[in-house]
Amino acid sequence: MTTGRASTPTDSADFRLPLDVKPTHYDVTIKTDLENSIFEGVVKIDLDVKNETSTIVFNSADLKLNDAALYSDQLKIKQVDPSPSFDDKAERCILSFSTPVPAGSKATLSIGFSGELTGAMMGYYKSSFEQDGTKKYYTLTQFEPTAARRAFPCWDEPLLKATFAVTMISHPDTINLSNMPITSEEIYQPQTTKVEDPSLEALFSALATQDSPEAQWKISKFQTTPPMSTYLVAYANGRFAHLESSYKSPLSGKTRPLRIYSTPDVIHQAQYALDIKAKVLPVYEEIFDIEYPLPKLDTLVAHDFDAGAMENWGLITGRTSAFLLDPKKADMAAKKRVTAFQSHEVAHMWFGDITTMEWWDYLYLNEGFATLMGEVIIIGKPMHSTLNMTITSFTSVYPEWKVDSSFISEFLNDALDLDAKLSSHPIEVHCPDANQINQIFDSLSYAKAGSVLRMLSNFVGEERFLKGVSIYLKKHLYGNTVTKDLWQGISESTGVDIGFPVITVTEGENGIHVRQDRFLESGPAEEKDNETIWNVPLALLTVTNDKVNIDKSVVLDTMEKTLAIDTSKPFKLNAGTYGVYRVLYSDERFAAIAKEAAKGDTVFSLNDRIGLVHDIMTLSKAGFCKVSSALTIVDILHDEKEFLVWDSIARNITTLVSTWWEHEVIVNDLNVFRRKLFAPIVKRLGYEYSPSESVDISQLRTRAIGQAAAAGDPAVVEELRTRFAEYMRTQDDSAIPGDLFGTTIFTAVKHGGREEYEFAKALYENPTTPPSRSTSAILAMCASQDGACVEDTYTYIMSKARTQDIIYFINGFQRNFRTRRSCAQFFQDNYVELAKRFEGNFSFKSIVSATFENLTKEEDYQRTVDFFKDKDISRYNLALSQTLESLRASRAWIERSTTDIAEWLGKWKGDH
């Protein structure tokens, strides 16, 4: 074969495939050889010829291709290209034939292919687990966004949907999985097995046929899929175990099987995820008024997985921490995580799988909706239909979790933080190449997109919003969409058009004077960065005759506007914290809102109080107000009862401690303040959990103990260390509640020595340790204050840690103030190997950010810039730009606010 290198594509016109031919159907046959870590196969692709052409261009990467042949139905001839050319940069193969195939005709392309099964966590790859002390392997796929081409030659773009018929060849003692159910399965026998396709003869004739099971081969044929994009195709092979359930469709009455697969040693930890899948599927059908279209829905839990989880149609895949938990001692955080992951991926069965974005520019249409639907509306917001619509009333899965309120801290605030950077990107972003595509799988595509949709839902009303979503999906079943298609569905349902608002609002005179400006974490935007006028739903809350009124009709669609209200009574913009913007008031108004909020839900809701804490702390970081004002509000709220308000307080105080980590006096005083806030809650709630107590109480106890321990409260630290010492001595962890395990092991290793460290390491290495505890063990290892243990961990990362777990080690070292700089040096010293291990993966950009984002000195910033000067940063340039911008903002915050914080804390200590 010859290789021809083309110039680097410069825009999507260069990067996207020519459309002279379009695939309509793939027959994919794959032989998996686990023992030799190789795969090979043949793909036959039916093509519609749109324009006369003698050249066929498709995607292929890291594959050896052979026997490429094109048969034309109209010409009745078969043509072969013995020397395909390759554009390695664009990951394309170009076939040239002597006779053009005519426009309007049909053709069939047949290609043999082979490749290596590596641990790359993309394409068709292998994952490992231990059984009886022996390392064993299985295989699975991860194709999103552009890795199907690493498994078989294809037109690897979401717009080019086709049907797929998958055949898998494997050893008989393994299980084959794919998007659809198996239609037939047999042991290959050359005398009886029919091979009707000549292109498959070479593949089948090479199969061994000895009588021993180890030498035999099994052929599994799967049903043909509906039209779908290549990135959603999936298959897997291994010695899996499974659990099974089913659900009954509320629309048709059909019963569909549901399974979850993993390795035999951990399959017992998968029941909860299976139960959640069975709960949410019928709810989605009712909301969308569209039945789940496939005959089954499986989930495969993998030990090595780059992302969190993946919405392959009919075969969801994901890492162990996304789907497994200890059924006997599951902590609330693990339950929430598994619920969110499973529901999010099931949402994709409609958003992304049935209806797919035309190109990666519109990724938010997938991820924003799956975030809002899967992690908020389905899980936690009970809704009852009052309108004459087809949406049936439904009961959410866990309304007691208050997920609409927790969305503010977990998604909205995260999105606004990232969007407050000049290096931010819009939720709809131009993606000319694969490096850019990987980078937009970030908080803006998930959290901000979900936040904008949540704001829209609140503005037009949730029922009308969901009705519009149903219209959108029904109009584009098995099709592809762009942004305007969604807005047309919403508009048809509501009659409302809306933009993408991100805004800062300031209080004025004559009632209130409202002005919008771009909000940046580094401070007021320069004129050149402040030219956009957003349509902003203000959701104005006022009080009249002791009655709370929320006017959702007020929209700020100009730079400035005056609103006549009675400012002697409580008021607030962004009621319910649904708007994707910050609100700035005077210090006096902030304090007045906080004092009213401290009274509970009478005027300002739970969502209002959460948003208030996040707003003022973020505004103080940008210099719009003082940190002392934010601390005053926190102090005013010290008698708050709701967990989620305390959660927002804890997050923001942790940010302050983390930012001023090299200012010992301020950190010590902040920790005194933190202990004063949280230790009384620990004393009131104690350490024991009761099944009869509310979720709020359980979570508040967990958060309070974690904050008190982090702040070094002697009584809390001693209690946790005592319980962990008993666990080490007896191997009985019954004295450690599941919700406190992470805090307990972290505190024990941080305040302990080599013995506690080795215990945590052994826990991580135990293959049956539940994922949440495994991650806790990693973070604990990195909390050690022992220099020898720290060095051992750095060595361990490169020699023994799973690649997918490296991000947890980096995060752990960044939580340990003593290792922040050595962690950055570790990354630099091992950059070449780390970059290679994560080549093409999503998570490397997160490792880059996590490694450097806490280094706040000028020399740190310059060393970071210098280090990356000669590196190819195309895979993570956006994340690096955002990290550098964060470093500049944090440094400016420290310079601006150190005296202010010190003076406030000094006065507070004097008063207490």
* Residue 744 vs residues 371, 641, 689, 760: alpha-carbon distances, Å: 31, 24, 15, 11
Helix (H, G, I), strand (E, B) or coil at 396: coil
- Helix (H), strand (E) at residue 58: strand 53-59
Sheet-wide strand order for 315-319: 241-248, 255-262, 297-302, 315-319, 309-310
- Calpha distance 353→357 (Å, rounded): 9
- Calpha distance 714→755 (Å, rounded): 21
Please give the angle made by the CA atoms of 231, 258 and 176, to the nearest 5 degrees: 55
Place of tokens 């009131």: 684
- Calpha distance 685→688 (Å, rounded): 8
Q: What are phi and psi of 152, to 5 degrees?
A: -160, 150
Active site includes 662? no
Sign of CA dihedral 849, 852, 856, 862: negative
Helix (H, G, I), strand (E, B) or coil at 499: coil
Tell me how far the alpha carbon of residue 234 is from its chain's centroid.
19
- Calpha distance 79→53 (Å, rounded): 13
Please give the angle made by the CA atoms of 600, 603 and 608, to the nearest 5 degrees: 75
- Reading the block at residue 455, the tokens are 């704001």
Sequence-ordered alpha helix ranges (H) in 239-299: 271-288
Q: Which of 345, 375, 428, 719 is catalytic?
A: 345
With 0-12 / 13-18 / 19 or more C-beta atoms within 10 angstroms meaning exposed / middle / buried, residue 658 is: middle
- Calpha distance 28→38 (Å, rounded): 16
Q: Please give the sequence-ordered ranges of beta strands (E in DSSP) within 268-369, or none if there are none.
A: 297-302, 309-310, 315-319, 356-357
Contact 432, 15 (CB under 8 A): yes
Q: What are phi and psi of 875, to 5 degrees?
A: -80, -20
Q: Closest Cα partner for 504 from 448, 601, 579, 606? A: 579
Contact 122, 306 (CB under 8 A): yes
- Calpha distance 603→141 (Å, rounded): 52
Contact 522, 889 (CB under 8 A): yes
- Calpha distance 378→351 (Å, rounded): 14
- Calpha distance 733→724 (Å, rounded): 8
Q: Residue count of the chain, please give it.
A: 912
- Calpha distance 632→657 (Å, rounded): 16
Contact 904, 897 (CB under 8 A): no
Which residues are tagged catalytic?
345
